[in-house]
Amino acid sequence: MQMALSELLVDHSPDALVATDTKGRVCLWNRAAQRDFGYRADEAEGQLLADLIVPRELHDDEAALRRAALDGVASRHEVMRHRKDGVPLYVNCSASAVRDAQGRVTHLACHLSDVTRHRARRDAEFVHARFQAVLDRAPDAIVIVNGTGRIVLFNAQACAMFGHEAAAVLGEPIEMLLPERLQRSHLGQRVGYLGAPRMRAMGEGRELHGRRANGDEFPVEISLSPVETEAGRLVMSAIRDISERKRFERALQEKNVELERASRAKDRFLATMSHELRTPLNAIIGFTGLMLMKLPGPLTADQEKQLGLVQSSGKHLLSLINDLLDLAKIESGRVELVLEPVACDAVLDEVVQTLRPTADTKGLWLRIEADAAPPPVVRADRRALQQILINLAGNALKFTTQGGVTIALREAEGRVTIAVHDTGIGISAQDRARLFGAFTQVGEPRARRAEGTGLGLHLSVKLAELMGGHIAVESEPGRGSVFTLNLARA
C-alpha cells in the first residue's frame, strides 16, 4: 500500500522526477517529465539522461553534477536542457544519491522544475535596465531573445510594427510574431542558430513574414546579432517591414512583363512589316534600274533625273528597313551568327569593290594597307564582318570631302585590328560620347550634309560584341576620324 502510494505521488508530481542508475541511465520517468521533455516513459527508460535532454555542449557540466551527487554533495542549479523536439528550456535541477541498506549508492534521484518563464522575466529585467532606453530610440524594430528563444526586450518600434504591448510578449517564444504556417520551420532554424550563433546582416538568408496582433501578415527583413552578457548569451534582431518595397517590386515586375509583351509585339511587327515592305521596294528599285538602263527606250534628262531620285530614295528606305530588322533581331536575342575562320583580305577586297563607285564619284581615294603576311584570319561571322566594315567605311566616305579613306589591317598578340582612317570633318568629344547610340546622328542638324538612319554604328557595335570584339573611335574636329574594329584571331 505504501509503495503504491509513493508511486502515485511520484507520477502526479507537478515537477519532473527522474531516477537514473549510477551510470546515468533512466530508470524512472514520471508524467511531468514526459510533459516537459516530450519523451514517453518507454522511450526514456534505459537511455542515458544526458543523451535525452542535455545539450551537447553541456555534457561535461552534467557529468560533474552527477559525480557531485554520487559523492553526497547536495546542490541545486539552474541549467539549460532541451526537449525531444530540440526546443531549449531552463530548469532548476537538483540531484541526490539513493542508497541501499548497506549505504551503497544505487540510484540518483533528479528533481527538474521548468523555470523558463521565470528566467525570461529575470532576463527581461536585466535587459530593460541595460538596453531599453537606448534601443527605444533605434529606427528599426528591435526584439531580443534569451537562450531559449523567449522575448526579453520589445522596443517601441516593435510595438508599433506588430501591434503588441511589450508586457504581452515578454517571456513568450519569438514564434508568436510569425504566422502559424511558419512557426514550426522557424523553430527548427532558431534552435540551430542558437546552437551556433553568428552575425547575420539585414537581408541575408531567407525571407520571413511577421504577424501583427490583429492577424495581418507582412514581409520583413531581419538582422541577427549574438550578444554576450552577464545574464548569458542573448540574440538581438533588428526587423524591418518591407511591405512597401515588395509592392514596388511587384509593380515593377508587372511593368516589366508589360514591357516584355510590348517588345515582343514590336519585334513581330518589325519582322512582318519589314518583309511586307521590302518586297515591293525591291520591285520598285529593280524596275527603276531597268528604266535607267534605257532598255524600254530612251529617257529625257528630266526623266532620268527623276528616276534616279526614285531609285536613290528606294535604296535609302530599303537600307532603313534592313537596319530596323537587324536591330529588332539583335535586341530580341534572335540574331543567328555563325562564327568561323574568315580571311580578312577577301572581305576587305569585297568592301572596297562595293564602295569604290562612291569614292570615285566624290574624287576620294579608298585603299587597303596591310602589314601582315600571310593575311590574318579572324573568328567571325562573314556577313556580319562585311556589314560592319561597309558601315564604317561608308560613313567615312560620307563625311569626307577631300582626301580619302584608308583601311589598315594589323595583327598583334592574337588579336586583329581593322582601322578605318578618314580625312573628313572629325567628331567632337561631346558627340563621341553618344556616337554609338541607336538613331543617333551627331553634329549640328543644319550642318549635316549626309543623310542616314543613325543605326549603322549602333548595329556595328552590337554585331562586334556578339563576335567577341569591340569598336573604338579616335577623332578631333577638322582632323578626321579613326574607327577601329578589334577581333580575336582564329
**For the segment 46-81, what is each residue's pLDDT rounded down to a tens digit?**
999 999 999 888 888 888 888 888 888 877 889 999
Is domain 118-241 given the CATH code 3.30.450.20 in the classification? yes
Q: What is the mean pLDDT of residues 413-421?
A: 92
CATH assignment of 252-331?
Answer: 1.10.287
Average confidence (pLDDT) over 228-232:
84
Q: Are 399 and 366 in contact (CB under 8 A)?
A: no
What is the Cα–Cα distance from 161 to 210, expressed in whole angstroms?
9
Instruction: Give the architecture-level CATH label for domain 340-488.
Output: 2-Layer Sandwich (3.30)
Rounded to the nearest 5 degrees, what angle is found at the Cα of 34, between the Cα atoms of 28 and 39? 90
Q: Does the global pTM surpass 0.75?
A: no
Rounded Cα gap, residues 135 and 114, in angstroms: 30
Q: Report how far residue 195's alpha carbon sits from residue 187's, in angstroms, rounded to the nearest whole number.
A: 12
Q: CATH topology of 2-114 equal to that of 118-241? A: yes
Q: What is the pLDDT of residues 259-304, one digit of tens each?
A: 888 877 877 776 677 667 778 888 888 888 888 888 778 888 888 8
The 3-state DSSP class for residue 237 equals strand
Give the three-state DSSP class for 179. coil
Domain boundaries of the chain, sorted by first residue? 2-114, 118-241, 252-331, 340-488
CATH of domain 2-114: 3.30.450.20
